[in-house]
Amino acid sequence: MIKKILIANRGEIALRVIKTCKAKGIKTVTLYAADDATLPHAGAGDENIALGRGPLSETYLNQDKIIQIAKETGAEAIHPGYGFLSENTEFCKKVSDAGLIFIGPSTEAIELMGDKKESKVKMEALGIPLVPGYHGENQEPDFLFEEAKKIGFPVLIKATAGGGGKGMRIVNSESEFTDALNASKREALNAFSNDKVLLEKYIINPRHIEVQLVSDGQGNHFHFFERECSIQRRYQKVIEETPSPALNDELRASVCDTAVKIAKGINYIGAGTIEYILAPNNEFYFLEMNTRLQVEHPVTEMVTGVDLVDLQIQAAQGLAFKFKQEDINQTGHSIECRIYAEDPDNEFLPTTGRIQKIETNPETDYRLDCGYRDGNHISTNYDPMLAKLITYDTDRYSAIEKMQVSLNNVLFGGTKTNRDYLKRVLDNEKFIEGNIHTHLIEQDKEELKKKKWEQNIEAHFVAVSLISATKPVQNLWDKKFKQTNKVISIDGDEISVVVNSLNRNGILFSLEGKKYRYETLLWEKGHIVLESKGEIISSHLFMNQNGSFQVFVNDFEAIVDVASKARRASSSQQLSEGSLQSPMPGKVFKVLKNVGDKVEKGESVIIVEAMKMEHTIKATTEGLIKDIFFKEGDQVQGGVLLCEIE
């Protein structure tokens, strides 16, 4: 029996694995890169080993170092979590060669499923339905073009080695094909050092449905029902749930049985997920298999009551499970929201910074799988997912309602997250009806945008922000307050306020001629409770680096700046038209132009990479490149000037 496991991952998934190990009396070894030293996982194991500084290849992806640490600490097995080394055949092989147990499937299974082309060939042999398309050897552009025409547009080009949405291109018509093919190949070569592609019919408005599998160590294969993962942005999941509102009993049985057939057909061992695409006519097609534990596994645990990590550990030791398929039931409904450090109102760009405080409410009924604690910095080296919030109830509507309450009770102070956006999705009528598909976020873009506040909500923001900035009353003279005009910025919108009275006890002001009065019930640093016309207004405030406040008022959230207009203007320096800035902190991945080159407006100039994503900086005007301030590999701050065009 395994007595000690090394966890080759970070954040919430490392903690998740530790939780099961503790329950089973297994000792754990965690690893942490230098920039993760204060994260919870870095101290959560029985032994916690520093990986030092450097690029990922020196830390969480340093295969030899990780295996050596496992040996030195006497761990018998390695759990890879998800991402990182979890689907790396080279690592998997090295682990077994070192006489250690890899908690995951066989090297062969990872290899087969890691290649979208090879896996399709195998699925075809097993009689599994595939999206109509071409996945053969011939990579001649002319030949592929003919195949695309046969499939019929729109067509999707995918990298055979692909993952994380990289290398994927939609082609709507014949004339777009060549450009799309070249772009896909370029991206694939960059990301996976392999430019092979395959073609698929592009299904309009499909759902992403997947089935959780676990096969034991004795050739028995089980499914744990489906997950609906259609709410995506950038081909990446944001909200997942189970059961899927799209499946009736017959269709459910069909997708689940097909998944078990695949597991049997490849002699699978351990946890895996079969991803399908479900067309609006209820035809479903195999998309790919993920040969690891998935981010969204908790919703399955909630409705089936199993511990998937426990099953992974049993399977890896060759044990047989003690249950039968009939013993696994799907009861109730569970939803997961991924809380990302990102700005959905600015093209979902990742955000960074310091998490000042994580506010939670232990009285609310949720599961929070979170990899961070108060004071942690969000590094650009990793994925921007901060936490997963999971709710469970008897039915879908109750689980959604619970999620809406929970999202109001889990605040990441000091960092911009997608929390407010998640609430907007949960309020979306189509989402509530269960009438969803993978393009909902894109199609309902306008509707999901942040709404302008009603005036009384704006007034709440004004009141708590101004009261929080007051000093305690020292003597009588402080009470003499002269009427002042203030311009306050709320989420970038400037509003004019006439303040008649203001101190820690309350505020009196007018906004567009309407009078507002608030009295303070509680004044604590960062937490203010006010009363106005019988309504209780509870707020949390966090000061940002630039002096503005991140304010949560009742169920609303905004960035509020109470500084004078002049100071605001001077702090955001004006840049000329041809100045290209980095939208976020990251690393200069590619410099596509040289000084002196002529560029057209909209042409790509520099690619900045951060948090697993590439951001292409395009020319804002036509002209000549006057200066480029960074070279490939340089680390850059958000907002810095990268290049000037004149």
Q: Which of 200, 226, 336, 557 forms a contact with ligand ADP (CB under 6 A)? A: 200
Least spacing, CB of residue 369 vs ligand ADP, in Å: 11
- Binding to ligand ADP, residues 502-531 (CB under 6 A): none
Per CB under 6 A, contacts with ligand ADP among 52-81 are: 56
Which x/- pattern, by CB under 6 A, does the window 218-247 give for ligand ADP?
A: --------------x--xxx----------
Provide the minimum distance between the beta carbon of 374 and ligand ADP in the complex, in angstroms, as a whole number.
21
**Which CB atom, from 166 or from 460, has the smaller least distance to ligand ADP?**
166
> Are 147 and 135 in contact, with CB atoms under 8 Å apart?
no
First to last CA, the chain: 68
CA distance 319 to 232: 36
Q: Which of 217, 302, 222, 313 is nearest to 261 (CA)?
A: 222
Closer residue to ligand ADP, CB minimum distance, 371 or 506: 371
Nearer to ligand ADP, 34 or 595 (CB): 34
Query: Smallest distance, Å, CB 296 to ligand ADP?
Result: 6
C-alpha span between 352 and 636 (Å, rounded): 13
Nearest residue (CB) to ligand ADP, 291 versus 548: 291
Identify the DSSP state of 217.
T
Which listed residue (292, 338, 396, 568) is catalytic?
292
- Counting residues that bind ligand ADP (by CB under 6 A) gives 31
The answer to the question of residue 385 lying near ligand ADP (CB under 6 A) is: yes
Sign of CA pseudo-dihedral 313, 317, 322, 326? positive
Alpha carbon distance 5, 238 (integer Å)? 30
Q: What is the enclosing helix (H) or strand (E) of 424?
A: helix 419-427
Residue 323 interacting with ligand ADP (CB under 6 A): no
Contact 611, 350 (CB under 8 A): yes
Binds ligand ADP by CB under 6 A, chosen from 202, 222, 366, 630: 202
CA 595/CA 137 separation, integer angstroms: 41
233 is catalytic: no
Closest to ligand ADP by CB, 156 or 636: 156
**DSSP 3-state of 612:** coil
Is residue 465 near ligand ADP by the rule CB under 6 A? Answer: no
Selection from 216, 224, 392, 243 nearest residue 306 by Cα: 224
Whichever of 159 and 619 has its CB closer to ligand ADP, that residue is: 159
**Rounded to the nearest whole angstrom, what is the least distance from the CB of residue 202 to ligand ADP in the complex?**
5
In the set 85, 277, 306, 349, which binds ligand ADP (CB under 6 A)? 277
Binding-site string for ligand ADP from residue 387 to residue 406, where x marks contact by CB under 6 A and - marks none: --------------------
CB burial of residue 75 (10 Å; 0-12, 13-18, 19+): buried
Query: CB pairs under 8 A, 24+ apart, for 172-181?
Result: 174/145, 174/148, 174/149, 177/145, 177/148, 178/141, 178/145, 181/141, 181/144, 181/145, 181/157
Q: State the minimum distance, in angstroms, from the CB of residue 234 to ligand ADP.
A: 10
**Smallest gap from residue 320 Cβ to ligand ADP (A):** 27
Identified binder of ligand ADP from the candidate list 42, 85, 101, 203, rule CB under 6 A: 203
3 class by beta-carbon count within 10 Å (0-12 exposed, 13-18 middle, 19+ buried): exposed
Query: Residue 501 and residue 380: Cα distance in Å, rounded?
Result: 44
Best CA proximity match to 88, nearest among 69, 111, 70: 111
Nearer to ligand ADP (CB atom), residue 83 or residue 350: 83
The contacts found for 27-34 with CB under 8 angstroms, 24 or more apart, are 27/3, 28/4, 29/4, 29/5, 29/69, 29/70, 29/73, 29/75, 30/6, 31/6, 31/7, 31/59, 31/60, 31/66, 31/69, 33/59, 33/60, 33/381, 34/59
Report yes or no: 335 and 316 within 8 Å, Cβ to Cβ: no
- Which residue in the set 45, 80, 114, 206 belongs to the binding site for ligand ADP (CB under 6 A)? 206
Cα gap 548→550, rounded to integer Å: 7
Residue 350 touching ligand ADP (CB under 6 A): no
Residue nearer to ligand ADP on the CB measure, 52 or 74: 52
Binding mask 438-457 for ligand ADP (x = CB under 6 A): x-------------------
- Using only C-alpha atoms, the chain has a radius of gyration, in whole angstroms, of 27
For 644, the 3-state DSSP assignment is strand
> Using CB under 6 A, which residues numbered 284 to 303 contact ligand ADP?
287-288, 290, 294-295
CA dihedral of 185, 189, 192, 194, whole degrees rounded to 10: 80
Per CB under 6 A, which region of 31-39, 306-314, 379-387, 518-526 contacts ligand ADP? 379-387
In the complex, which residue's CB is closest to ligand ADP? 83
In whole angstroms, give the CA distance from residue 42 to residue 28: 11
Distance CA 515, CA 130 (A): 64
**Interface pick for ligand ADP out of 47, 48, 63, 82 (rule CB under 6 A):** 82
Residue from 4, 120, 122, 208 that binds ligand ADP (CB under 6 A)?
A: 208
Q: Does residue number 163 form part of the binding site for ligand ADP (CB under 6 A)?
A: yes
Told to check if 132 binds ligand ADP by CB under 6 A, we report: no
Tell me the catalytic residues.
Answer: 292
* Chain residues that interact with ligand ADP, rule: CB under 6 A: 56, 82-84, 131, 156, 162-165, 200, 202-203, 206, 208, 232, 235-237, 275, 277, 287-288, 290, 294-295, 382-383, 385, 438, 612
